[in-house]
Structure 1
Amino acid sequence: MENKTKLDQSRAPIYEALERFRQMRVVPFDVPGHKRGRGNPELTAFLGQQCVGVDVNSMKPLDNLCHPVSVIREAEQLAAEAFGAAHAFLMVGGTTSAVQSMVLTVCKRGDEIILPRNVHRSVINALVLCGAVPVYVNPEMDQRLGISLGMKREQVAKAIAEHPKAVAVLVNNPTYYGICSDLKAIVEMAHAAGMLCLADEAHGTHFYFGENLPISAMAAGADMASVSMHKSGGSLTQSSFLLAGPNVHAGYVRQIINLTQTTSGSYLLMSSLDISRRNLALRGKQIFEQVKKLAEYARSEINAIGGYYAFGQEMVNGDSVFAFDPTKLSVHTLDIGLAGIEVYDLLRDEYDIQIEFGDIGNLLAYISIGDRVQEIERLVSALAEIRRLYQKDPSGMMSQEYIDPEVVVSPQEAFYAAKESLPLRETEGRVCSEFVMCYPPGIPILAPGEKITREILNYIEYAKAIGCSMTGPEDPDILRLNVLA
Structure 2
Amino acid sequence: MNLLLQQKAPIHEALLRHKSNRVVPFDVPGHKGGRGNKELTDFLGENCLKVDVNSMKPLDNLCHPTSVIREAEQIAADAFGAKAAFFIVNGTTASVQGMIMSVCKAGDKIIMPRNVHRSAINALVVCGAIPVYVNPGVNKDLGIPLGMSLSDVKKAILDNPDAKAILVNNPTYYGICSDLRGIVDFAHEHGVKVLVDEAHGTHFYFGEDMPVSAMAAGADMAAVSMHKTGGSLTQSSFLLCGNGINPHHVRQVINLTQTTSGSYLLLVSLDIARKNLSLHGTELIRKTVEIAEYARGEINKLGGYYAFGKELIDKEAVYDFDPTKLSVHTRNIGLAGIEVYDLLRDEYDIQIEFGDISNFLAIISAGDRALEIERLIASLSEIKRLYGKDDKSDMFDHEYINPDVVFAPQQAFYSPKKSLSIRKSIGNICGEFVMCYPPGIPILAPGERITEEIVNYILYAKEKGCLLTGTEDMAVNNINVVEVD
Short-chain TM bin: over 0.9
> Which residue in 2 is equivalent to 1:335?
332
Q: Is the 8 A contact 1:355 1:365 kept in 2?
A: yes
Which of 251, 254, 257 is 1:254 aligned to?
A: 251
Return the offset for 1:247. Answer: 1.1
Return the offset for 1:7. Answer: 5.5
Matches within 5 A, 1:147-226: 147-226=144-223
Give the whole-Å Cα distance in 2 for the aligned partners of 1:305 and 1:424: 39
> Which residue in 2 is equivalent to 1:411?
409
Q: Is the 8 A contact 1:225 1:244 kept in 2?
A: yes
> Which residue in 2 is equivalent to 1:390?
387
Percent identical: 67
Aligned: 1:263 with 2:260? yes
Q: Which moved more, 1:269-278 or 1:391-400?
A: 391-400
Q: Is the 8 A contact 2:3 2:279 kept in 1?
A: no
> Which residue in 2 is equivalent to 1:448?
446
Return the offset for 1:232. Answer: 0.3
1:293-342 CA distances to partner (integer Å, 9 max, x unpaired)?
00000000000000100000100001100000000000000000000000
- Secondary structure, counterpart of 2:6 in structure 1: coil
Give the whole-Å Cα distance in 2 for the aligned partners of 1:370 and 1:263: 33
> Which residue in 2 is equivalent to 1:482?
480
> Which residue in 2 is equivalent to 1:21?
18
Return the offset for 1:143. Answer: 1.2
Give the whole-Å Cα distance in 2 for the aligned partners of 1:9 and 1:158: 42
Q: Is the 8 A contact 1:7 1:78 kept in 2?
A: no
1:56-103 CA distances to partner (integer Å, 9 max, x unpaired)?
000000000000000001111110000010100000000000000000
Give the whole-Å Cα distance in 2 for the aligned partners of 1:330 and 1:475: 31
Give the whole-Å Cα distance in 2 for the aligned partners of 1:475 and 1:429: 19
Give the whole-Å Cα distance in 1 for the aligned partners of 2:372 and 2:107: 49
Which of 108, 111, 126 is 1:111 aligned to?
A: 108
> Which residue in 1 is equivalent to 2:317?
320
Return the offset for 1:399. Answer: 2.4
Return the offset for 1:266. Answer: 0.2
Return the offset for 1:13. Answer: 0.3
Aligned: 1:421 with 2:419? yes
**Following TM superposition, where does structure 1 have runs of at least 4 consecutive aligned residues deviating by more than 3 angstroms?**
none
Matches within 5 A, 1:73-92: 73-92=70-89
Change (3 A) 1:7 1:254: farther
One-letter code aligned to 1:155 = D
One-letter code aligned to 1:97 = A
Q: Is the 8 A contact 1:233 1:369 kept in 2?
A: no
Give the whole-Å Cα distance in 2 for the aligned partners of 1:377 and 1:75: 39
One-letter code aligned to 2:60 = D
Which of 449, 470, 473 is 1:472 aligned to?
A: 470
Unmatched segments (≥5 aa) in structure 2: none
One-letter code aligned to 1:17 = A
Give the whole-Å Cα distance in 1 for the aligned partners of 2:468 and 2:91: 21
Q: Is the 8 A contact 1:7 1:81 kept in 2?
A: no
Give the whole-Å Cα distance in 1 for the aligned partners of 2:194 and 2:145: 21
Return the offset for 1:6. Answer: 6.9
Give the whole-Å Cα distance in 1 for the aligned partners of 2:392 and 2:296: 22
1:423-477 CA distances to partner (integer Å, 9 max, x unpaired)?
1111110000100000000000000000000000000000000000100000011
Give the whole-Å Cα distance in 2 for the aligned partners of 1:178 and 1:460: 24
- Secondary structure, counterpart of 1:200 in structure 2: strand
Return the offset for 1:375. Answer: 1.1
One-letter code aligned to 2:328 = V
Give the whole-Å Cα distance in 1 for the aligned partners of 2:53 and 2:179: 43
Q: Is the 8 A contact 1:414 1:432 kept in 2?
A: yes
Matches within 5 A, 1:109-148: 109-148=106-145
Which of 307, 310, 314 is 1:310 aligned to?
A: 307
Q: Which moved more, 1:393-402 or 1:275-284?
A: 393-402
Give the whole-Å Cα distance in 2 for the aligned partners of 1:7 and 1:402: 46
> Which residue in 2 is equivalent to 1:285?
282
Give the whole-Å Cα distance in 2 for the aligned partners of 1:21 and 1:407: 53
- Secondary structure, counterpart of 1:67 in structure 2: coil
One-letter code aligned to 1:258 = N
Give the whole-Å Cα distance in 2 for the aligned partners of 1:152 and 1:319: 5
- Secondary structure, counterpart of 1:433 in structure 2: coil
TM-score by length of 2: 0.99
Q: Is the 8 A contact 1:232 1:369 kept in 2?
A: no
Q: Is the 8 A contact 1:177 1:330 kept in 2?
A: yes
One-letter code aligned to 1:464 = K
Give the whole-Å Cα distance in 2 for the aligned partners of 1:292 and 1:17: 35
> Which residue in 1 is equivalent to 2:273?
276
One-letter code aligned to 1:409 = F
Coordinate RMSD, CA, aligned: 0.8
> Which residue in 2 is equivalent to 1:381?
378
Give the whole-Å Cα distance in 1 for the aligned partners of 2:154 and 2:38: 60
Give the whole-Å Cα distance in 1 for the aligned partners of 2:315 and 2:272: 36
- Secondary structure, counterpart of 1:355 in structure 2: coil
Give the whole-Å Cα distance in 2 for the aligned partners of 1:15 and 1:441: 32
- Secondary structure, counterpart of 2:472 in structure 1: coil
One-letter code aligned to 1:293 = E
Q: Is the 8 A contact 2:3 2:278 kept in 1?
A: no
Give the whole-Å Cα distance in 2 for the aligned partners of 1:212 and 1:395: 40
Aligned: 1:50 with 2:53? no
- Secondary structure, counterpart of 1:8 in structure 2: helix
